[in-house]
Amino acid sequence: MKPIIAIAISCLASPAFADEKTPVNYNDHIKPIFRQHCAKCHGDDQQKAGLNLQSFEGAIKGGSGGKAVVAGRASASLLYQAITNTDAEARMPPNQPPLPEAQVKLILAWINDGLRESATSKSLAAIRDLTFKPTASAMVKPDGPPPMPGKLPTVTLPPVNHKLPIVAMDASPWAPLVAVAGQEHVRLIDIQTKKELGVLPFPEGVPHVIRFSRDGAVLLVAGGKPVQSGKAVLFDVRSGKRLAEIGDELDAVLAADLSPDQQLVAIGGSGKIVKVYGTSDGLLKYKLTRHTDWITAIGFSPDGNRLATADRSGGLHLWEPKTGGILLTLAEHKASIPSLHWRNDSRVLATAGEDGLLIWWDVVDGWPAISKPNAHPPKRPEGVYGRLRNGVLGVSFDGNGNLLTAGRDRVVRLWTADGQTTKSFEVSEAIPVTSRISHDGRTLICGDSLGELHFWTLPGTP
Amino acid sequence: MNRNTIILLIAFLVTASTDLFAEAPSFRRDVMPVFFRAGCNSGTCHGSARGKDGFMLSLFGYDAKGDYFRLTQELIGRRVNVAAPGESLMLKKASGQVPHTGGKRFDVESPYYQTLLKWVEAGAPDDPMNVPEPVEIKLEPDRLLFDVGAVAKPTVVTARYSDGTTRDVTKLALFNTNNPDTATVNADGVVTPGKRGDTFVFARFNRFTIGSEVIVLPKDSAIQWSNPPANNYIDELVYDRLQKLHLLPSALCDDETFVRRVYLDLAGVPPTVEQYRSFMSDANPKKREVLVDQLIASDEFAQVWTALWAESVRLMGGGYAPTGTDVKAAEAYYQWIHEQIKSNRPFNEFVAEQVTATGSNLTNGPANLYTMLVHNTRFTPKEFAANFSQLTMGIQIQCAECHNHPFDRWTMNDYYGFVSFFTGMKRKLGAEPREMYIFNDRSMQPAKHLVDDRPVPATVLGGEAAVPEMGDKRKALAEWLAAPDNPHFARNFSNRIWAHFFGRGLVEPVDDMRISNPPTNKPLLDALAKRFADSKFNLRALVRDICTSRVYQLASQPNETNAGDTRQFSRSRLRRLRADVLLDAIVVATSSERGFSYFPRGTKAIQYYPRTPGDTEGPNAGDPFFATFGRSRRGSICVCETRTESNLSQALHLLVGDTIDGRVGGGQVVPKLVAAGKSPDEIVEELFVRTLSRKPTSEERTAMRELIGDNVKDRKVYEDIFGSLLQSTEFGFNH
């Protein structure tokens, strides 16, 4: 008889064991953990900081410090931060070893799955439909043949020691054309033939930003010389003529974009301020001063209703482009955001971080709809310990909502609209810095830190 | 300059530059030294932990891999631009072509700029694996002798690399002086003498620091060496140094000074009137040695050294169980220390037993090293390792937690390897609430290197390889530490012992031994350490050598040569009494006891350690008298916790506090003397001997007689005299 009893007891004693059928929920999984570790101070008898974790209602309600848990978002939940804090002095429970990893994982799953009370409860996290609908695209193909450069004037380029790393690059939204950064110039290359069609001189210095206008007819090039001068220049793609020069900065422009109606150019850099200029008169319209670090990425949404700006400390804001009023602050990145890109339907913004995070933002309410914490996991060489650099440097959508990213793991990765990674390509010799998908969605393009361009053609796509 | 020299010079410059860049500069070997020399990676600039203006380099270059990343890959194309090398922000900033908070560091024409430029031109390559690294640097000459006003002399720094090659790195090194009054050194290593004296100049390159001694002698000094006799090696080595520096030692002190000095130093109390008289009337020519031997063998001697050790291990008794420092534990530790000192246990064994101790803090005294050295509710291996190293070796390794020690040889590897001896140390609650059980958990992982999280196995300081991974690693540590040839242990403790008798270590402060803080008399420190080790770490033998030397017995009065000497022991130094010794001296002089809270009656100040009903985490001197007079509050491991400077609150305490006033007015000393029918002269003399261990001078006698006048039976006037003597500077000092 004895062994049977022992088995029965061991089953009873481990209720916190999640099987695959039961979704993680408060009653079955989480309450026992809270009782064991937290309820002495945050329970029915005592509610330190006004928090009672011994009941589902109490846990949802939170304490004097605000909500303890945010449905669907452990990274924004105080409770999760408190139990995973690496500083032993600040971690909960106080003066105790951290909670066992399995229990932390259960709590993580419970929060991210939407704080279910019981096995049959519904998730409290909002159901989001972020599927890409081509009909919602703001992309209306301009009339006439897509803009391609004609015969551009020959220019004498300064001699270079080595190729400039491809710190900026963009593909035309309508033509088989890619514009690539070089020292004091921009190269225009035919994606199909891989031939250079011409060169736009940029004596201002290093082009840190290259962006085609929505109609593909205008090219924005911004950059400069470090701690000397910076500028944004608009070129006519067909003739190579300079249309406008904007800004007169004391340092190279590191981030810039042209609004879809081509009325505004936003630039930023080490000054920590985003300046928005009118293209017709070249005058400063307004400044955005909320950032606390260098501006690293700027993008107008394709519908022209939002302006996203990012900085070197992970700060990310959405603005109303007409007035410069703040719409939302998107707090999730913990390190520099080198790159951001809008999906064509203006519903989703993708951001890439040096912290390894890749995020698809639902810009309606600023929710990280899909979040990949280690989107480009580097391989650990033998005998190497510690944190490996896993920053994501380049991010860009194609016209169908697919996303192409470039990472410090020296891999270029293709993601579907629902955040699944489908293909990856290695760049063995250098760090891939910039990534783009051609207008027809067939060719993946990457620029690397040795100044080389890589093209991969996808089979089977029309 | 004629034409030929110009041509020659040009030819030289050309060959030099082509020579320098026969191949692309290496990042570690050529580029990083430029950052070091130009100050880019110093602590106030980009070497700061958070960098400067958004750009960070590792402090003095401890993390080459990280520096390479931040320079070339963090912001691709900006700091380093391989397409247009001259446009690299790094070069523009350093040469002052664009605004730079740190200003212009060097010219475009300088070899520093050229090195960086060539490296960028070559594509800013990273080094292949196993690039040769410096293993040693040399500074020549290692000794510089000047007359005041003499012309400057150059020095040369040479680095030896792991592949056996050497290289002149004078232009890449940094120089500094320990005393700019005596000698200055410029950026090129040229030393210019200043005022008379001795000091060191240092060169730093890579992670190494090395010094050269500089002696500056007065011009035309015609000092006749006085040829004083030497009692032992201490005298010989001090004299040797004095002779080199053209200093003459002061005369020997008189017997009255000696008897007070040696009692205070060895017994922690001044001599009683009877002890004074018996010594003064002793006709034995060897009576000083006899007295030293007698005092070394006394209980008081053991009390003094027990107090010193208890203080240095931060021994305190508390009532807060989680720190493990209960009064009962403290008392167990204290009694254990006292037994060891009393039985003259070899000092290395005494320390080793504490290092390897385990078990209950209540019953196994020495295990309390692991509760006392760091007062905390948790055992913190890093803090413990740092305190332990500072105590047992005089070495401060904590700098190397975040970067290689900038002014010593210790690297982050040394630091984490040393911490790993203690990562397994744990404490758990014992059978009763006050009890803490100390043990070593062998399953614990070694400490992780800050730069790359690599586990660094337990390695002794300066050790080539980790200690074997078996059993309790602390045993290996204790064996290494206690070995006679350990390079740090004997030097540290003989320096600390020396400092007790001279008010200053040969290395000062005694708990900051580093290459850039060398001893003022290295042969002497070597000899003391050797003697300590050879005597099987016999504390009393070393103390006897010191106290019987003539150097210890010198007078404090200077002669015409040594008035300015504070470092070479050419005369006795005035030392304010330690707080506990001062209080015991007052008690002895006034024959009036002083009680302490939480201690039984009859406890002497020297036997006191802080006891509190609360917790022991904060600094606490215990008795308020100790707080005022600077007895160690044990708030940290630093020897500076014991303060012997004078201040106003001390003077006020002695003047109007009850320590002296109550004992003089309420005591029996004066009434007994008056009642015994002694003459005013006899009473005054007795009061002088009681307090200052000397008879009054004739001027003092005359003055006292005038003060007393006709009131020869008035105890008030004698009490005034008695009180003034106790408040006098002479009483408060050992001289």
Packing angle of the helix pair B539-548, B489-502 (nearest 10 deg): 40
Can you spell out the DSSP letters for B266-326? HHSSPPPHHHHHHHHH---TTHHHHHHHHHHTSHHHHHHHHHHHHHHTT--BBS-GGGT-B
User: Which of A95, A167, A226 has the CB atom closest to B76's CB atom?
Assistant: A167
Quote the domain boundaries for residue A89.
16-112
Residue A121's pLDDT is what?
87
CB of A216 less than 8 A from some CB of B: no
B439 and B394 in one domain? yes
Given B56, B89, B121, the domain boundary residue is B121
Instruction: Identify the CA nearest to A458 among candidates A419, A411, A429, A425.
Output: A425
Chain B partners within 8 Å of A389 (Cβ): 69
Mean pLDDT over residues B218-240, rounded? Answer: 91
CB of A364 less than 8 A from some CB of B: no
Chain B partners within 8 Å of A385 (Cβ): 448-449, 452-455
**Whether B69 and A387 lie within 8 Å, measured CB to CB:** no
Model confidence at A7, pLDDT cuts 50, 70, 90, reads: very low
Tally of structural domains, chain A: 2
Model confidence at B635, pLDDT cuts 50, 70, 90, reads: very high
CA distance A126 to A108: 17
CB of A449 less than 8 A from some CB of B: yes
Residue A86's pLDDT is what?
82
Chain B partners within 8 Å of A227 (Cβ): 89, 92-93, 98-100
* Structural domain contains residue B165: yes
ipTM tops 0.90: no
B105 and B74 in one domain? yes
Q: What is the CA radius of gyration of chain A?
A: 25
User: Which of B83, B449, B454 has the CB atom closest to A162's CB atom?
Assistant: B83
**Residue A347: how many CA atoms within 13 Å on its side-chain side?**
15
Mean pLDDT over residues A158-181, rounded? Answer: 96
* Structural domain contains residue B573: no
Given B482, B501, B529, the domain boundary residue is B482
A61 and A166 in one domain? no
Mean pLDDT of chain B: 93
A212 and A103 in one domain? no
**Whether B77 and A164 lie within 8 Å, measured CB to CB:** yes
B94 and B148 in one domain? no
Q: Decide the pairing of beta strands A177-182 and A169-171.
A: antiparallel
User: pLDDT tens for residues B89-142?
Assistant: 999 999 999 999 999 999 999 999 999 999 999 999 999 988 999 999 999 999
Residue A5's pLDDT is what?
42
B459 and B372 in one domain? yes
**pTM of the shown model:** 0.85
**Whether B83 and A228 lie within 8 Å, measured CB to CB:** no
**Whether B87 and A205 lie within 8 Å, measured CB to CB:** yes
B350 and B270 in one domain? no
* Structural domain contains residue B225: no
User: pLDDT tens for residues A337-357?
Assistant: 999 999 999 999 999 999 999
- In a mutational test of the B interface, the residue from A167, A185, A186, A227 whose CB has the highest number of chain B CBs within 10 Å is A227
> What CATH code is carried by the domain that includes residue B177?
2.60.40.1080
Q: Per the omega criterion (within 30 degrees of 0), is the bond before A165 cis?
A: no
Chain A partners within 8 Å of B454 (Cβ): 385-386
CB of A294 less than 8 A from some CB of B: yes
A187 and A322 in one domain? yes
A89 and A146 in one domain? no
Residue A132's pLDDT is what?
67
Least confident of B8-12, B386-390, B578-582: B8-12
CA closest to A432 among chain B residues: B76
A408 and A302 in one domain? yes
B477 and B371 in one domain? yes
Given A78, A112, A146, the domain boundary residue is A112
Given A53, A80, A112, the domain boundary residue is A112
Given A82, A112, A142, the domain boundary residue is A112
Measured in Å, how far apart are chain A's first and last C-alpha atoms? 70
* Structural domain contains residue B65: yes
B366 and B287 in one domain? no
B138 and B100 in one domain? no
- Longest Cα–Cα distance of chain A, Å, equals 95
Given B65, B93, B121, the domain boundary residue is B121
* Structural domain contains residue A299: yes
CB of A162 less than 8 A from some CB of B: yes
Closest approach of chain A CAs to the CA of B452, in angstroms? 4
* Structural domain contains residue A326: yes
Contacts of A344 (CB under 8 A, 6+ apart): A137, A138, A139, A302, A397, A399, A401
CB of A161 less than 8 A from some CB of B: yes
CA distance B557 to B554: 9
Interface of B with A (CB under 8 A): 54, 69, 73, 76-79, 81-85, 87, 89, 92-93, 98-100, 120-121, 123, 377-378, 448-449, 451-455
Mean pLDDT of chain A: 90
CA distance A390 to A437: 22
SS3 call for B48:
coil
User: Which of A95, A158, A386 has the CB atom closest to B84's CB atom?
Assistant: A158
Q: In this model, does residue B569 exceed pLDDT 60?
A: yes
CA distance B79 to B52: 14
Mean pLDDT over residues A281-291, rounded? Answer: 94
* Structural domain contains residue A11: no
B316 and B190 in one domain? no
* Structural domain contains residue B676: yes
CB of A430 less than 8 A from some CB of B: no
Residue B469's pLDDT is what?
80
CB of A186 less than 8 A from some CB of B: no
CA closest to B119 among chain A residues: A161
A150 and A51 in one domain? no
Chain B partners within 8 Å of A96 (Cβ): none
Q: B206: phi > 0 → left, psi -120 to 50 → alpha, else beta; which?
A: left
**Whether A182 and B78 lie within 8 Å, measured CB to CB:** no
**Whether A312 and B99 lie within 8 Å, measured CB to CB:** no
B703 and B676 in one domain? yes
Q: In this model, does residue A3 exceed pLDDT 80?
A: no
User: pLDDT tens for residues B480-513?
Assistant: 999 999 999 999 999 999 999 999 999 999 999 9
> What CATH code is carried by the domain that includes residue A322?
2.130.10.10
Quote the domain boundaries for residue B362.
300-482
CB of A228 less than 8 A from some CB of B: yes
Six-digit token pair at B132? 């040769």
Tally of structural domains, chain B: 5
* Structural domain contains residue A128: no
**Whether A206 and B448 lie within 8 Å, measured CB to CB:** no
B327 and B465 in one domain? yes
* Structural domain contains residue B498: no
Residue A20's pLDDT is what?
60
Residue B14's pLDDT is what?
38
SS3 call for B483:
coil
In B545-692, the DSSP E strands lie at: 575-576
Chain B partners within 8 Å of A386 (Cβ): 449, 451-454
B111 and B183 in one domain? no
CA closest to A431 among chain B residues: B73
Residue B219's pLDDT is what?
81
